[in-house]
A = this chain, B = another copy of it.
């Protein structure tokens, strides 16, 4: 692994006090950790981030959720309900470049760590907050999870069969999608801060962030004057055929290939006919133009499916792709995890953990000078308490032990 990944140093020296939990916040700080920031998770001594999913008195049987969002971070435990714990965190905030939280509305203020308090302690800090609904929204006090934000942000409305109910997109865009927009803004603030030393308050709501990923749908609405629609695996508003999912052998639940011929490339249709052994239809007036093929879409799809059905989805993807027509097999998480080419490129990496078994997971997918960022273990709860209090605040072992004896850390 050592030769194909690197330890990114872009943010070396950047100190982040991280109060976040679950996914929207942790996905943001993990991105910054992968770029080299020193991300210190502040966790309660009892169970830590609820994303750890620890169960009282029971073994940890689900470390994976925590692993995927907390690689490359450090963890310290602090009892924020104790006056000394609060003071300790304020000492850390004095040293920090960035702090971030995604508690329920009002919780950070009740802890005594609202923006005004922290700004008074450290005027140069970038103070970031992620909530479900925006300040000023009629729902600003409501709780939100990923699915709630996705429903209220529009993604359900455009996903599903044309004549069926809306369907949940099966992944957590509401959380990680929001975390990425906050990471971009934090980095913008840090860039300027090198010049000005100024801090800022940054706020994002998950419902608002979802719409950023739905701008094609808003553009389609601009064109049609109607709410963007669902189209199953077709793309509403794209008037060409063949385009969509085609079944492959041996007919398992994910044995399909997406094939997309382009309106702008009329030769796609002829190439595809040649590939599927239907040269006899090249030039056939019934299928000559995109409009003709859309009018006979069921026939056109049957012609393509007759060929794909006898092929493995990856072989089909390869053959269609080599013919110069965009194609993608529907791959599931197991197929992606087991495909060694991701590991060979450092896109999938195995997290080696001091407690849990090794876990292969996707790392930061952007390469710098040819190499992705090295995935390091997610931290054991409180594993770095003494180390961070030493590094950041100069506390010695005896000082940390005294805090521990008092139940502060």
Q: Which residues of A contact B (CB under 8 A)?
A: 8-12, 14, 23, 27, 31, 35-36, 50, 61-62, 64-65, 67-69, 132, 134-139, 142-145, 147-161, 165-173, 175-177, 180-185, 187-192, 194, 200-205, 207-209, 211-223, 226-228, 230-236, 245, 247, 253-254, 256-258, 260, 264, 317-318, 321-322, 324-337, 341-342, 344-345, 347-348, 359, 361-362, 364-370
Contact = CB atoms under 8 A, between A and B. Distances in A.
A368 B202 contact: yes
Given A65-B216, A177-B177, A203-B367, A332 B154 contact: yes
Nearest to A23: B216
A218 B338 CA distance: 12
A242 B158 CA distance: 23
B326 A148 contact: yes
Given A215-B69, A332-B154, A134 B366 contact: no
A123 to B, nearest CB: 13
A213 to B, nearest CB: 5
Given A35-B184, A139-B321, A221 B334 contact: yes
Number of copies: 2
B156 A233 contact: yes
Given A134-B347, A166-B256, A232-B167, A330 B180 contact: no
Contacts of A218: 64, 68, 333, 337, 361-362
Contacts of A153: 331, 336
A368 B191 contact: no
Nearest to A230: B170
B167 A161 contact: yes
Nearest to A182: B366
Contact of A190 (B62, B191, B219, B327): B191
**Highest count of chain B CB atoms <10 Å: which of A147, A155, A329:** A147
A243 B255 CA distance: 29
A165 to B, nearest CB: 7
Contact of A367 (B152, B202, B235, B370): B202
A336 to B, nearest CB: 6
B168 A215 contact: no
6 contacts: A148-B327, A151-B256, A167-B233, A176-B215, A202-B366, A202-B368
